[in-house]
Chain A
């Protein structure tokens, strides 16, 4: 008996989802975190609170509203079908959207903290040297916030990998589409297939530990620089 690859299908699917979600969050979260770190707008606490909401809400609240938001009669559900031909509920794309919202605080908060720790003078110095806003961000802010970026990416990735409640509610348990590793483990446990449950769970534990270990080793080698 060779290794049964179909057993690991849900694991690869979870990893694929986590990777895609992390990349999207990197693109969306960076400008949002930068704006939050620089703005003096009175809206700042409102946006901050909204960003942090997924941290405190039980996944069932999000799952319930995604179920309503994704249905083919809703505006979002209908538009999505028009564009892509598939429904948002029970699809991989639906899980991507749900996960982006679910993991948003894990990207934004570490980045915001990193950006806020960069001193005003450093940015002013860059401006005096005539660096434009984008140049300033790429050559000053980004390198100084490297640690924040690594933490944010790993946390977003890990949090998405660990997603369960929302997927159970809007996924529909479709192999290759929405049957993620957490769902597969749940099904194994509920049907008393503990051997398979162990196999997937232990793989996941090792994988998650290795990922976190890498971050902490990286963080040790790159201590926070005082800008």
Chain B
């Protein structure tokens, strides 16, 4: 009996050690702008049911990921929140084959207001309006478009990315903030107060472009996932996650 127990231990240990090494056929790492993180997880789940590819997702602000990719971060695909940085990566030979996978929708979230609007932001009865850092995050840039005429510099606080901006409002430290519609959908609309989807004409569109990165050029799995992003299934997932698509849907 004791002997067989010993064997079990050996088998357990061995399966732990070797189990980790029995990888799926191939892996793809995707760098994703924070706003798209949840949608990317959905896409991953869907794609992994239909192929033996293991997708791993790294999220950050578009600016942060861009800087990391330029400095050799091991990603195959970049799902940015703007067009500028994917374009630059192609110019510098770090990427190819750019396409627009989603149009971001900016939202004004009032944690204590059922129906927040821009007029509320000009009043002095609140303290802080959170936006993502416009230098790093395209949603921050879009937010700046919306409020540029309102002279709110003494109210603005910045999160490093749209995810951190969300947490500044969620924890009650800022009363208002500009975030993405996708974040509210991620939370199943379970947020305090209310939100207002900013009309498209008030800001330069948040055109979110994808590029295939150098490391993914020779990775068939990366290419497969990249093509999957253009499929009808993927587009439906993206729409459900709170984005528009370039053809006006």
Contacts and interface: CB of A to CB of B under 8 A. Distances in A.
Interface string B160-188: 10001001100111100000000000000
B235 interface: no
Contacts of A73: 172
Interface of B: 61, 63-64, 66-67, 70, 127-128, 130, 133, 135-136, 156-160, 164, 167-168, 171-174
Contacts of A58: none
Contacts of A67: 167-168, 171, 173
A69 B63 CA distance: 30
Given A173-B133, A187-B135, A187-B136, A71 B171 contact: yes
A189 interface: yes
Contacts of B171: 67-68, 71
A214 interface: no
Given A70-B173, A73-B172, A172-B168, A191 B157 contact: no
Contact of B128 (A68, A172, A189, A192): A172
Given A72-B173, A87-B173, A89-B173, A191 B168 contact: no
A90 interface: yes
Given A89-B173, A90-B128, A172 B158 contact: yes
29 contacts: A67-B173, A68-B171, A70-B173, A71-B171, A71-B172, A72-B173, A74-B172, A87-B173, A89-B157, A90-B157, A168-B164, A170-B173, A172-B128, A172-B130, A172-B158, A172-B159, A173-B133, A173-B157, A173-B158, A174-B158, A187-B133, A187-B136, A189-B67, A190-B67, A190-B135, A190-B136, A191-B67, A192-B66, A192-B67
Interface in A185-203: 186-187, 189-192
Contacts of A76: none
Interface string A165-189: 0001110111000000000001101
A74 B171 CA distance: 10
Given A87-B127, A191-B135, A72 B158 contact: no
Q: How large is the interface on A (under 10, 10 to 19, 20 to 34, 35 or more residues)?
A: 20 to 34
Contact of B63 (A74, A168, A174, A191): A191
The 4 closest A-B pairs by CB, nearest first: A172-B157, A71-B172, A89-B173, A173-B158
Contacts of B173: 67, 70-72, 87, 89-90, 170
Contacts of B63: 190-191
Interface in A69-87: 70-74, 87
Contacts of B66: 192
A70 B160 CA distance: 19
A3 to B, nearest CB: 22
Interface of A: 67-68, 70-74, 87, 89-90, 168-170, 172-174, 186-187, 189-192
Nearest to A177: B157
Nearest to B63: A190
A90 B156 CA distance: 10
A89 B61 CA distance: 22
Nearest to A179: B158
B153 to A, nearest CB: 9
Contacts of B167: 67
A123 B241 CA distance: 70
A197 to B, nearest CB: 11
B67 A169 contact: no
Contacts of B164: 168-169
A190 B127 contact: no
Given A170-B173, A187-B133, A190-B136, 7 more contacts: A67-B167, A71-B172, A87-B173, A90-B174, A186-B160, A190-B63, A191-B67
A67 B133 CA distance: 18
Nearest to B168: A172
A189 B63 CA distance: 10
Contacts of B67: 189-192
A150 B213 CA distance: 52
Nearest to A193: B135
